[in-house]
Structure 1
Amino acid sequence: MSHISRYDPFSMEGVPDLFQGLFRPLRAAGGVEGQAGGIRIDVTEDEGGYTVKAELPGVEKNDIDVKIDGNLVSLAAKIERGSELKEGERVVRRERYSGSVSRAFTLAAEIDDEKASAQYKDGVLTLVLPKKVASARKRIEIG
Protein backbone atom coordinates (compact mmCIF):
# COMPACT_ATOMS: atom_id res chain seq x y z
CA MET A 1 0.00 0.00 0.00
CA SER A 2 1.26 3.49 -0.76
CA HIS A 3 1.54 6.35 1.64
CA ILE A 4 -0.19 9.60 0.65
CA SER A 5 1.38 12.84 1.83
CA ARG A 6 0.36 16.43 1.30
CA TYR A 7 2.73 18.69 -0.66
CA ASP A 8 3.55 22.01 1.01
CA PRO A 9 5.22 24.45 -1.44
CA PHE A 10 6.29 26.74 1.45
CA SER A 11 8.00 24.04 3.50
CA MET A 12 11.61 24.74 4.51
CA GLU A 13 12.34 21.03 4.91
CA GLY A 14 15.31 20.03 2.81
CA VAL A 15 16.61 23.58 2.26
CA PRO A 16 19.69 23.10 4.48
CA ASP A 17 20.67 20.12 2.32
CA LEU A 18 20.78 22.39 -0.75
CA PHE A 19 23.49 24.55 0.79
CA GLN A 20 25.54 21.74 2.34
CA GLY A 21 29.19 22.51 1.55
CA LEU A 22 28.45 25.71 -0.39
CA PHE A 23 30.63 27.87 1.87
CA ARG A 24 33.19 25.18 2.78
CA PRO A 25 35.85 26.34 0.24
CA LEU A 26 35.74 29.90 1.64
CA ARG A 27 36.11 28.71 5.23
CA ALA A 28 39.04 26.45 4.37
CA ALA A 29 40.89 29.23 2.57
CA GLY A 30 40.45 31.68 5.42
CA GLY A 31 41.15 29.21 8.17
CA VAL A 32 37.87 29.84 9.93
CA GLU A 33 36.57 27.38 12.51
CA GLY A 34 39.78 25.40 12.70
CA GLN A 35 39.96 24.50 9.01
CA ALA A 36 43.25 24.01 7.18
CA GLY A 37 45.55 26.99 7.32
CA GLY A 38 43.99 28.59 10.41
CA ILE A 39 45.38 29.45 13.81
CA ARG A 40 43.49 27.72 16.61
CA ILE A 41 43.63 29.46 19.97
CA ASP A 42 42.62 28.97 23.59
CA VAL A 43 42.28 32.06 25.79
CA THR A 44 42.07 31.91 29.58
CA GLU A 45 41.71 34.83 31.98
CA ASP A 46 42.53 35.40 35.62
CA GLU A 47 42.70 38.53 37.78
CA GLY A 48 46.11 39.55 36.48
CA GLY A 49 45.71 38.95 32.78
CA TYR A 50 45.22 36.52 29.93
CA THR A 51 46.99 33.42 28.70
CA VAL A 52 46.70 32.65 25.00
CA LYS A 53 47.76 29.31 23.53
CA ALA A 54 47.95 29.19 19.74
CA GLU A 55 48.62 26.07 17.67
CA LEU A 56 51.25 26.70 15.02
CA PRO A 57 52.64 23.29 14.10
CA GLY A 58 55.58 23.19 11.73
CA VAL A 59 56.32 26.91 12.02
CA GLU A 60 59.80 28.23 12.81
CA LYS A 61 60.00 30.55 15.81
CA ASN A 62 61.49 33.33 13.64
CA ASP A 63 58.48 33.20 11.28
CA ILE A 64 55.95 34.14 14.00
CA ASP A 65 54.89 37.77 14.49
CA VAL A 66 52.87 38.93 17.50
CA LYS A 67 51.56 42.50 17.82
CA ILE A 68 49.65 44.07 20.70
CA ASP A 69 47.77 47.35 20.36
CA GLY A 70 45.68 48.16 23.44
CA ASN A 71 43.32 45.20 23.68
CA LEU A 72 43.89 43.98 20.11
CA VAL A 73 46.18 40.97 19.69
CA SER A 74 47.40 40.04 16.20
CA LEU A 75 49.15 36.79 15.34
CA ALA A 76 50.79 36.08 11.99
CA ALA A 77 52.98 33.23 10.80
CA LYS A 78 54.64 32.11 7.60
CA ILE A 79 54.45 28.38 6.93
CA GLU A 80 56.90 27.00 4.39
CA ARG A 81 57.02 23.42 3.24
CA GLY A 82 60.18 22.61 1.32
CA SER A 83 60.20 20.42 -1.73
CA GLU A 84 60.76 16.92 -0.40
CA LEU A 85 60.65 15.13 -3.74
CA LYS A 86 63.43 12.78 -4.70
CA GLU A 87 64.37 11.98 -8.24
CA GLY A 88 61.68 9.88 -9.91
CA GLU A 89 58.94 10.83 -7.40
CA ARG A 90 55.80 12.76 -8.14
CA VAL A 91 53.17 14.33 -5.91
CA VAL A 92 49.99 12.27 -5.74
CA ARG A 93 48.22 14.34 -3.09
CA ARG A 94 49.23 17.47 -1.17
CA GLU A 95 47.16 18.52 1.85
CA ARG A 96 49.71 20.29 4.02
CA TYR A 97 49.22 24.05 3.95
CA SER A 98 52.00 26.34 2.79
CA GLY A 99 51.76 30.12 2.94
CA SER A 100 50.92 32.70 5.56
CA VAL A 101 48.21 32.70 8.20
CA SER A 102 47.04 35.43 10.51
CA ARG A 103 44.48 36.03 13.20
CA ALA A 104 43.46 39.03 15.26
CA PHE A 105 41.16 39.21 18.26
CA THR A 106 40.23 41.66 20.98
CA LEU A 107 40.25 41.09 24.71
CA ALA A 108 38.04 42.76 27.30
CA ALA A 109 40.88 44.67 28.99
CA GLU A 110 43.90 46.54 27.64
CA ILE A 111 47.19 44.67 27.71
CA ASP A 112 50.38 45.92 29.36
CA ASP A 113 52.61 45.27 26.35
CA GLU A 114 55.77 46.10 28.35
CA LYS A 115 55.20 43.07 30.63
CA ALA A 116 53.83 40.68 28.00
CA SER A 117 55.84 37.56 27.21
CA ALA A 118 55.80 34.79 24.62
CA GLN A 119 57.17 31.25 24.46
CA TYR A 120 57.09 28.80 21.55
CA LYS A 121 57.52 25.10 22.24
CA ASP A 122 56.37 21.95 20.44
CA GLY A 123 54.23 23.86 17.93
CA VAL A 124 52.32 25.83 20.59
CA LEU A 125 52.80 29.56 21.09
CA THR A 126 52.00 30.64 24.65
CA LEU A 127 51.39 34.32 25.31
CA VAL A 128 51.17 35.70 28.84
CA LEU A 129 49.37 39.04 28.59
CA PRO A 130 49.04 40.99 31.86
CA LYS A 131 46.21 43.49 32.11
CA LYS A 132 47.12 47.15 32.19
CA VAL A 133 46.56 48.70 35.59
CA ALA A 134 43.74 51.22 35.34
CA SER A 135 44.86 54.72 36.15
CA ALA A 136 42.90 56.82 38.62
CA ARG A 137 40.29 58.99 36.98
CA LYS A 138 40.95 62.67 37.12
CA ARG A 139 38.13 65.12 37.62
CA ILE A 140 38.41 68.32 35.66
CA GLU A 141 36.84 71.44 37.06
CA ILE A 142 34.72 73.43 34.65
CA GLY A 143 35.42 77.13 34.92
Structure 2
Amino acid sequence: MSNLTRYDPFMDPIPELFHGLFRPFKGLSVAEEPDLSPIKIDVAESDTAYSVKAELPGIDRNNIDVQIEGSAVTINAKVERSKEQKEGERVIRRERYSGSFSRSFTLASVIDECKATAEYKDGVLSLTLPKKASSDRKRIEIN
Protein backbone atom coordinates (compact mmCIF):
# COMPACT_ATOMS: atom_id res chain seq x y z
CA MET A 1 0.00 0.00 0.00
CA SER A 2 1.43 3.42 -0.89
CA ASN A 3 1.32 6.48 1.34
CA LEU A 4 0.16 9.77 -0.09
CA THR A 5 1.66 12.98 1.19
CA ARG A 6 0.15 16.36 0.59
CA TYR A 7 2.64 18.99 -0.61
CA ASP A 8 2.91 21.93 1.75
CA PRO A 9 4.68 24.90 0.13
CA PHE A 10 5.32 26.48 3.55
CA MET A 11 7.16 23.42 4.85
CA ASP A 12 10.49 23.41 3.05
CA PRO A 13 12.91 20.71 4.29
CA ILE A 14 16.05 22.48 3.03
CA PRO A 15 16.30 25.15 5.80
CA GLU A 16 16.11 22.37 8.40
CA LEU A 17 19.37 20.99 7.02
CA PHE A 18 21.14 24.21 7.98
CA HIS A 19 19.36 24.73 11.31
CA GLY A 20 22.01 25.43 13.95
CA LEU A 21 24.85 25.61 11.43
CA PHE A 22 25.84 29.15 12.39
CA ARG A 23 25.64 28.69 16.16
CA PRO A 24 28.93 29.12 18.03
CA PHE A 25 31.08 26.03 18.44
CA LYS A 26 30.52 24.55 21.89
CA GLY A 27 33.75 22.57 22.28
CA LEU A 28 34.16 19.09 23.64
CA SER A 29 33.42 19.68 27.31
CA VAL A 30 29.97 21.25 27.40
CA ALA A 31 29.61 20.75 31.17
CA GLU A 32 32.48 23.16 31.92
CA GLU A 33 31.18 26.03 29.81
CA PRO A 34 28.86 28.64 31.33
CA ASP A 35 25.24 28.73 30.26
CA LEU A 36 24.64 31.66 27.94
CA SER A 37 20.91 31.20 27.64
CA PRO A 38 18.88 34.40 27.71
CA ILE A 39 17.99 35.90 31.07
CA LYS A 40 14.84 34.24 32.37
CA ILE A 41 12.41 36.71 33.91
CA ASP A 42 9.11 36.73 35.76
CA VAL A 43 6.98 39.90 35.77
CA ALA A 44 4.07 40.50 38.12
CA GLU A 45 1.86 43.60 38.17
CA SER A 46 -0.08 45.25 40.96
CA ASP A 47 -2.07 48.49 40.90
CA THR A 48 0.96 50.57 41.86
CA ALA A 49 4.07 48.69 40.68
CA TYR A 50 5.68 45.92 38.67
CA SER A 51 7.74 43.20 40.31
CA VAL A 52 10.45 41.65 38.13
CA LYS A 53 12.57 38.63 39.04
CA ALA A 54 15.50 37.81 36.74
CA GLU A 55 17.72 34.73 37.06
CA LEU A 56 21.41 35.68 36.86
CA PRO A 57 23.28 32.82 38.56
CA GLY A 58 27.03 33.18 39.08
CA ILE A 59 27.16 36.86 38.11
CA ASP A 60 28.83 39.41 40.39
CA ARG A 61 26.46 42.20 41.42
CA ASN A 62 28.94 44.81 40.14
CA ASN A 63 28.61 43.34 36.63
CA ILE A 64 24.83 43.83 36.46
CA ASP A 65 23.38 47.01 34.96
CA VAL A 66 19.68 47.91 34.92
CA GLN A 67 18.45 50.78 32.78
CA ILE A 68 14.94 52.22 32.79
CA GLU A 69 13.73 54.58 30.10
CA GLY A 70 10.04 55.38 30.22
CA SER A 71 8.33 51.98 30.13
CA ALA A 72 11.35 50.13 28.68
CA VAL A 73 13.58 48.09 31.00
CA THR A 74 16.99 46.70 30.00
CA ILE A 75 19.05 44.29 32.09
CA ASN A 76 22.71 43.91 31.07
CA ALA A 77 25.07 41.35 32.60
CA LYS A 78 28.76 40.68 32.04
CA VAL A 79 30.50 37.41 32.85
CA GLU A 80 34.24 37.04 33.34
CA ARG A 81 35.60 33.73 34.56
CA SER A 82 39.11 32.47 34.87
CA LYS A 83 39.99 28.90 35.83
CA GLU A 84 43.44 27.44 36.36
CA GLN A 85 44.50 23.91 37.26
CA LYS A 86 47.95 23.42 38.73
CA GLU A 87 49.89 20.32 39.49
CA GLY A 88 52.70 21.40 41.78
CA GLU A 89 54.34 24.40 40.09
CA ARG A 90 53.36 23.36 36.56
CA VAL A 91 50.22 24.82 35.04
CA ILE A 92 48.29 21.95 33.47
CA ARG A 93 45.35 23.92 32.09
CA ARG A 94 44.29 27.58 32.06
CA GLU A 95 40.91 28.70 30.75
CA ARG A 96 39.41 32.14 30.41
CA TYR A 97 35.88 33.08 29.51
CA SER A 98 34.30 36.47 28.96
CA GLY A 99 30.86 37.31 27.66
CA SER A 100 27.86 39.55 28.07
CA PHE A 101 24.17 39.34 27.47
CA SER A 102 21.12 41.51 27.92
CA ARG A 103 17.36 41.37 28.04
CA SER A 104 14.99 44.22 27.17
CA PHE A 105 11.25 44.41 27.57
CA THR A 106 8.55 47.06 27.60
CA LEU A 107 5.87 47.36 30.26
CA ALA A 108 2.39 48.80 29.81
CA SER A 109 2.90 51.78 32.15
CA VAL A 110 5.67 54.34 32.50
CA ILE A 111 8.06 53.55 35.37
CA ASP A 112 9.02 56.05 38.09
CA GLU A 113 12.83 55.69 37.88
CA CYS A 114 13.42 57.66 41.11
CA LYS A 115 11.49 55.16 43.24
CA ALA A 116 12.66 51.96 41.53
CA THR A 117 14.64 49.52 43.70
CA ALA A 118 16.83 46.51 42.94
CA GLU A 119 18.13 43.65 45.09
CA TYR A 120 20.44 40.80 44.08
CA LYS A 121 20.44 37.70 46.25
CA ASP A 122 21.25 34.03 45.53
CA GLY A 123 21.53 34.60 41.78
CA VAL A 124 18.14 36.30 41.47
CA LEU A 125 17.78 40.00 40.66
CA SER A 126 14.57 41.42 42.14
CA LEU A 127 13.31 44.73 40.79
CA THR A 128 10.45 46.77 42.17
CA LEU A 129 9.33 49.22 39.51
CA PRO A 130 6.64 51.65 40.72
CA LYS A 131 4.29 53.04 38.12
CA LYS A 132 4.33 56.79 37.55
CA ALA A 133 1.20 58.45 38.82
CA SER A 134 -1.03 59.05 35.87
CA SER A 135 -1.59 62.73 35.45
CA ASP A 136 -5.28 63.52 35.35
CA ARG A 137 -6.44 65.18 32.20
CA LYS A 138 -6.82 68.88 32.59
CA ARG A 139 -10.05 70.29 31.34
CA ILE A 140 -9.73 73.54 29.46
CA GLU A 141 -12.67 75.91 29.47
CA ILE A 142 -13.71 77.26 26.13
CA ASN A 143 -14.66 80.94 26.10
Q: What is the TM-score with the length of structure 1 in the denominator? A: 0.73
Structure 1 residue 82 corresponds to structure 2 residue 82: yes
Q: Which residue is equivalent to 1:30?
A: none
**Structure 1 residue 12: Cα displacement:** 6.1
Q: Which residue is equivalent to 2:19?
A: 22
Q: Which residue is equivalent to 1:32?
A: none
**Structure 1 residue 6: Cα displacement:** 4.0
Corresponding residue SS for 2:73: strand
Q: What is the TM-score with the length of structure 2 in the denominator? A: 0.73
Structure 1 residues 76 and 13: CA distance shift in structure 2, 3 A? closer
Which stretches in structure 1 are left out of the alignment for 5+ residues? Answer: 28-34
How do 1:100-119 residues align onto structure 2 when only pairs under 5 Å count? 100-119=100-119
Which structure features the higher share of strand residues? 2
Report if the CA contact (8 A) 2:51-2:128 is conserved.
yes
- 2:79 partner letter: I
- 1:43 partner letter: V
Aligned residues: 129
- Aligned equivalents of 2:68 and 2:117: distance in 1? 11
Identity of aligned residues (%): 48
Structure 1 residue 5 corresponds to structure 2 residue 9: no
How do 1:1-143 residues align onto structure 2 when only pairs under 5 Å count? 3-6=1-4, 10-11=7-8, 15=12, 19=16, 22-23=19-20, 36-86=36-86, 87-89=91-93, 98-140=98-140
**Structure 1 residue 46: Cα displacement:** 1.0
**Structure 1 residue 7: Cα displacement:** 6.0
- Aligned equivalents of 2:131 and 2:70: distance in 1? 10
- Deviation per CA, 1:34-71: give whole Å up to 9, x if none: x7342111111111111100111111111111111110
Structure 1 residues 128 and 90: CA distance shift in structure 2, 3 A? closer
- Aligned equivalents of 2:121 and 2:127: distance in 1? 11
**Structure 1 residue 26: Cα displacement:** 5.3
Structure 1 residues 6 and 128: CA distance shift in structure 2, 3 A? closer
Corresponding residue SS for 1:65: strand
